Structure 1
Amino acid sequence: MLPLLISSQIREADAWTIKNEPISSVDLMERASRAFVGWFINHFPERNERISVYCGTGNNGGDGLAIARMLHQHKYQNISAKAARFSDKSTADFDVNMQRLHDCGLDIITINKGEIPTEDGHIIIDALLGSGLNKPLEGDYKSLVDYLNSLQKTVVAVDVPTGFFADGEVPPDATVLNAELVITFQQAKINFLLPESKNHIACWETVNIGISEEFTRSLNSAYQYVEEKDIRKILKHRKPFSNKGTYGHTLVIAGEARTMGAALLCSSASAYAGAGLTTACIPGNGLTALNSYMPELMAIIRDGDTLPDIDWDKFKSIAFGPGLGTDENALELFAYVLTNYNKPLVIDADGLNLLANNSTLWQALPPGSILTPHMKEFDRLFGTHTNWWARLQTAKQQAAERNIYIILKNDYTITATPDGKLYFNSTSNAAMATGGMGDVLTGILASLLSQGYTAEQACIAGVYIHGKAGDELALPNRMNVVLPGRLAQQLPVTMAKLMA
């Protein structure tokens, strides 16, 4: 896992690297600026492009001055360096880079308090304020950022866009210099992975600046970024002399007359993800659809007010809720499951709604169960939130207090674990934003539990595989929409590639 650090930890890691590498702070700044420029010149190769580099007087501004100098040395012909002198203070490394810029013959335009510069550049490099910002912009910085936003230029931010918080709550009315691209140092900032970033950051790229990975891991950050190598370590190969019983039996309790699609998608995903057997507990009028859709699936029929006769010991996992409804029959069925089954459940959709509306159900929820809410379902379960950072803290708290796993779905789906960790997923794409995709994820999770994966392994690997299958369908084929049924069929291929 790649640790994701909050701002104070980033400063701590920088300081440790400076002391123990050892390297001077200005040389570390030089290394970071060189990494930025290496990425920049490969993607903006036109040497006659008019580029304006806006610098504050802190270390982010020092980066900007070094970047301006390096671009000039790379024969960019129209570099304009502008220093916002809204304070009498400046860092020592900023001052060093100011002198170096003078020495290489590049003029620097000073922006004093109350001034707004004339801007005719095509690209703006934003090095005004960095990751240490902890309050909204005001005064001269706000006026400058508002002006630059009004120009609608291509903005490339150094590490963090000016006005955007690297972590913590982002005020809904925050003034941010909106960036087409952020080239960020060492790792993504946590707030890049939350929906509040979408209005301010079109895309981001990380560049390695040599911060000690051993030390960053020692900080034991609560926030972790899941990479492919992590999934390769989790997934288990099928072994010789195994049989269907080796890979467990999943029970999917889902579907109503008008929502059988949810049961079909969830059950098929369980089978495609590798469960040895999958049984769908569905209403009788859905049996023909089930047999037609996927004959490999078995069925337990539930009708009307009569609870189904279930041999609980047969099942290694249960997925509960997709398309089930929330009437009295569904509530009675949920209570029936909780009374008789003590292994972790995977709960989605109407199962989550039943939990939200009936607090007594929580008391019987088996430890290690997995909840898979989207934003609205999460707020129904745990109260209204006004921002995603607050949702992260609630997810971490609730997972620990209730000894459960919470999968909070978004572009970088987050898994909260009972030990206080938050795992951000690195796969998926917008083509997957279609109804039924969550039903497939639920089936994958239950399937992995049936196969003997721990709840934590099932969450981390299941979310990754789900997104990876969507990526394999959408990105190479330039598909605008990936349908969930097609994604379920892709699962064996995706998993085989990851285990190759």
Structure 2
Amino acid sequence: MIKSINSSGAITLSIDIPSGLFADTSSTGEIIRADYTLSFQMPKLAFFMPENDKYVGDWHILDIGLHPDYINDVKVKNYFLLKRDLQPTLKKRNKFDHKGSYGHALIIAGSYGKMGAAILASKACLRSGVGLLHTHIPKAGYEIMQTSVPECMLSIDRYDNYFSEVPDLNMYSAVGIGSGLGMEKQSQMALKLLIQNYQNPIVFDADALNILAENKTWLSFIPKGSILTPHPKEFERLVGKWSDDFEKMQMLRDFCFKYGIYVVLKGAYTCACTPDGNCYFNSTGNPGMGTAGSGDVLTGLITGLLAQGNTPGQAATLGVYLHGLAGDLAVKKTGYEAMIAGDIIEKFGKAFRKFSN
């Protein structure tokens, strides 16, 4: 029957979950390929797995009247991030606050030919609401950074083309590293020095993750509560291959628990996983955000939120939600194909306003 329905060419509507699809483990055998799925009360974990996209189609939730107390009492490890859950975490601003009230972030980014990544991360960090930002860059990036991001203060490396030394860290409330960093040996040793000497959580992205993947013993001494923001291939380099998306999720939980860190696994329904194994799937974002520099924007945003005194969990979940929301606002103007990373930053202000209301 399933084969017949799938080959019929008719629009297919599944109720609760497509027939043949398991909710919380990888599925085998014949499965209905639904165009639409109407699920009762809560989305199923399977809906967030890339391997099931061809079966679930567009899904929507039907409220069947379960009592809120019953829902809240059920012990779960998976959550779907909605605005109402995150709004209380956005810090309110007081009349007598000043730039010193909103944290001082450090972004370590850029190398010869990749200064655009440092610019995007810095602009996004500043748009997060952080009070002060220093960006550490190689000498070759000085003029472009001063021109492109005048609000940002610069820390200049002694080398022309890549990161080789850690600046004084005492003044910073959060550090983000990796955007456009490169893989030079001096950069790798400087990263090792950073994670050995900075006691607060660090946001790792891009080449910082690739360096960690090549030096896995260093993972054991990165600061607890740090936030790693890999795309699936970067995550694979860190943990190895998986046979299906559910195994990937278990490897994600195990990795976070083992090292006491947070991982933001980027993609559709970006998943923020905590050290205790809770996974928060994002409800914002769109395919247009799969573009060069989008991850650098997220790194800057999360670093800025962390610098303002948010916990790592708050910075990670709020960051992915606002990042996706800005992308959803941007796509209305650009469409999927024409969106670039800078379009996301341009919509941060509107995203914050929409989120706050």
TM norm structure 1: 0.69
Other structure's SS at 2:170 match: helix
Which residue number in structure 2 is paired with residue 336 of structure 1? 193
What are the residue-to-residue correspondences of 1:467-482 with 2, within 5 Å?
A: 467-475=324-332, 478=335, 480-482=337-339
Q: 2:164, 2:187 within 8 Å by CA — same for their partners in 1?
A: no
Could you tell me how far apart the structure 2 residues matched to 1:461 and 1:186 are?
A: 24
Q: 2:17, 2:56 within 8 Å by CA — same for their partners in 1?
A: no
- Which residue among 158, 163, 169 is the counterpart of 2:15? 158
Which residue number in structure 2 is paired with residue 279 of structure 1? 134
Letter in structure 2 aligned against 1:243:
H
Could you tell me how far apart the structure 2 residues matched to 1:410 and 1:289 are?
A: 30
Give unmatched runs, 5+ long, in structure 1.
1-143
Does residue 431 (structure 1) correspond to residue 262 (structure 2)? The answer is no
Q: 1:427, 1:468 within 8 Å by CA — same for their partners in 2?
A: yes
Measure how far apart 1:388 and its partner are: 1.4
Does residue 381 (structure 1) correspond to residue 242 (structure 2)? The answer is no
Q: Which has the higher contact order (CA 8 A, sep 6+)?
A: 2
Deviations 1:351-401 (A, max 9, x none): 111111102311220000000111111111011112111111111122122
Q: 1:412, 1:425 within 8 Å by CA — same for their partners in 2?
A: yes
Could you tell me how far apart the structure 1 residues matched to 2:27 and 2:114 are?
A: 38
- Which residue among 57, 63, 72 is the counterpart of 1:202? 57
Could you tell me how far apart the structure 1 residues matched to 2:256 and 2:217 are?
A: 17
Other structure's SS at 1:312 match: coil
Letter in structure 2 aligned against 1:303:
R
Does residue 251 (structure 1) correspond to residue 251 (structure 2)? The answer is no
Measure how far apart 1:484 and its partner are: 1.2
Count the aligned residue pairs. 355
Does residue 270 (structure 1) correspond to residue 112 (structure 2)? The answer is no
Letter in structure 2 aligned against 1:192:
F
Measure how far apart 1:477 and its partner are: 6.5
Deviations 1:156-188 (A, max 9, x none): 1111111211221234xx421111111111111
Which residue number in structure 2 is paired with residue 149 of structure 1? 6
What are the residue-to-residue correspondences of 1:382-461 with 2, within 5 Å?
A: 382-461=239-318
Letter in structure 2 aligned against 1:487:
I
Measure how far apart 1:306 and its partner are: 8.4
Measure how far apart 1:303 and its partner are: 3.2
Which residue number in structure 2 is paired with residue 466 of structure 1? 323
Deviations 1:69-109 (A, max 9, x none): xxxxxxxxxxxxxxxxxxxxxxxxxxxxxxxxxxxxxxxxx
Larger Rg: 1
Which residue number in structure 2 is paired with residue 260 of structure 1? 115
Give unmatched runs, 5+ long, in structure 2.
none
Does residue 191 (structure 1) correspond to residue 67 (structure 2)? The answer is no
Other structure's SS at 1:162 match: coil
Other structure's SS at 1:165 match: coil
Letter in structure 2 aligned against 1:201:
V
Could you tell me how far apart the structure 1 residues matched to 2:46 and 2:92 are?
A: 36
Letter in structure 1 aligned against 2:350:
V
Could you tell me how far apart the structure 2 residues matched to 1:232 and 1:481 are?
A: 30
Which residue number in structure 1 is paired with residue 33 of structure 2? 178
Could you tell me how far apart the structure 1 residues matched to 2:163 and 2:351 are?
A: 40
Identity %: 35
Letter in structure 2 aligned against 1:217:
N
Q: 2:106, 2:174 within 8 Å by CA — same for their partners in 1?
A: yes
Deviations 1:430-475 (A, max 9, x none): 1111111011001011001110001010011011000011111214
Could you tell me how far apart the structure 1 residues matched to 2:104 and 2:349 are?
A: 17
Letter in structure 1 aligned against 2:132:
L
Q: 2:288, 2:335 within 8 Å by CA — same for their partners in 1?
A: no
